[in-house]
Every structure is written in C-alpha cells, then in structure tokens.
Copies of this chain bind each other. A is one copy, B any other.
C-alpha cells in the first residue's frame, strides 16, 4: 500500500552511483561534474576508454569520477544517464540493452535539427527520445530529465548555485522520485515531476526554444516552475 505523502518528499539518494553514457560531451561532463561535486561516485562512459578517462581526469582533482567504456560504466552503476548525441541514441541503447537491464535509465537527449533559421524539433518515430529508450530497454526503468541544463553553466567553476528546475518525466513514481532527488542534489536545482513519459516529446523539443532564447538574449536560459 502506498502511503500518503507530499509530492515534495524525496528519497535519500546520496549513496547512488551514476554512469553518464556519452559523458565526454559538454552536457555529460557538466552533469558528471555536478553529481560528483555532490558526492556521488560517477563513471563517465564513452566508446573509448581513453577518452572517458581523459574527460574524467579533466573534471578536477579529488572528485569521485572515473572513466570506462559505455557498457562497463552502465553495468557498474545504479543510475545511468544517457547523454549521447541524438544520432547515436538508437544504436547505443540497442547495443547496451543487456547491460542496462535492471537499471534506472535517465534519458536527457534532445532530438533537434539546425538549419539557417536556427534550431527545430525532429520527429521521432516512438514519439520522443525517452520513449525510444523505453521501447529499446524493456528491462530497464526509463525516466526523462535534465533536458534544459546549460552545459556552460554546469561546467563553470564560478557558478555554485544553478538556477533552474529539472523536469522529471516517467510512469514509475519511485523512479521519478529518485531522479528528482538526484537533480536536487545540485545546489539551486529542484527536480520537479513533469508528467508521464508520453509527454516527453515537448520537453525535449522545448530545448529548441531555449536555444532560440539564448541566442536572442545572449543568455544561458533555464526554466523555473512557479507555484510549486
């Protein structure tokens, strides 16, 4: 029986280890840095162990970050953040389905295109990157989150308070609560429930609007949810 609880209650996730697949990219390194600074053991995953270890080493002395090939990173951690470029998303998850079985998988991939008029959202056969992950990983719990974090902000050592809310989407309450708690480990960030996975497309696609906002205002924009 589920007990009555506040939607603001969060579990203690301080002991969870986190893999970041595609973690040598800007978004991946930014998330790895902030979660390691919060005390989590983090493994940056890459196709190349050397590049993963290099990226981990560059994040700073004394942080609990290491590097590994994607499959080893996935197997060795409790939570696995998928931060690969969209065009490698399907192939990577197909190849790692067995390694990701039983894991909590957090998809933060934004399927976007760019042309002379700027960014735009791509159509995804499954509806969204997160739903594609869910379709490819039947033995994992899939949550969508961290779409709008600015890599520039995450990687800026001068910024100790990150001013944004992370929308966390999924159909499994325990899984979304865990990822909300993980997001909230970054000072300034709140992990806010953002709906079911079938409503992930527009959250991913909204990254195109945020890029347009960044260009117009010369900003590193994020979202805050009011009245929550």
Over the window 185-218 of chain A, the binary record of Cβ atoms lying under 8 Å from chain B Cβ atoms (1 yes, 0 no) is 0000000111110110111011011001100111
CA distance A195 to B201 in the complex (A): 17
| B222 in contact with A194 (CB, 8 Å) | no
Does A157 count as interface, using CB distance less than 8 angstroms? no
Q: Residue A219 contacts which of B198, B213, B216, B228 (CB distance < 8 angstroms)?
A: B228
Which applies to chain A's interface (DSSP): helix, strand, loop or mixed? mixed
| B221 in contact with A193 (CB, 8 Å) | no
Q: Residue A222 contacts which of B192, B196, B212, B227 (CB distance < 8 angstroms)?
A: B227
- Residues of B contacting A209 with CB < 8 Å? 167, 169, 194-195, 199, 202-203
- Residues of B contacting A38 with CB < 8 Å? none
| A226 in contact with B163 (CB, 8 Å) | yes
Q: Can you list 7 residue pairs at the A/B interface with Cβ under 8 Å? A: A118-B196, A121-B202, A164-B226, A195-B208, A196-B212, A199-B212, A202-B202
Chain A residues touching B, range: 35 or more
Q: Which of A195, A196, A205, A223 has the most CB of B within 10 A?
A: A195
| B212 in contact with A221 (CB, 8 Å) | no
Does A7 count as interface, using CB distance less than 8 angstroms? yes
CA distance A217 to B6 in the complex (A): 8
Given contacts A194-B213, A220-B227, A223-B223, contact A202 B199 (CB under 8 A): no
Q: Residue A225 contacts which of B119, B121, B193, B222 (CB distance < 8 angstroms)?
A: B222
Chain A residues proximal to chain B, CB less than 8 Å: 7-8, 117-121, 163-164, 167, 169, 192-196, 198-199, 201-203, 205-206, 208-209, 212-213, 216-228
| A224 in contact with B224 (CB, 8 Å) | yes
Kindly report which residue of chain B lies nearest to residue A219, judged by CB atoms: B227
CA distance A175 to B114 in the complex (A): 24
| B222 in contact with A120 (CB, 8 Å) | no
| A196 in contact with B117 (CB, 8 Å) | yes
| A203 in contact with B206 (CB, 8 Å) | yes
| B213 in contact with A192 (CB, 8 Å) | yes
Q: Residue A224 contacts which of B193, B217, B220, B223 (CB distance < 8 angstroms)?
A: B223
- Residues of B contacting A226 with CB < 8 Å? 163-164, 221-224
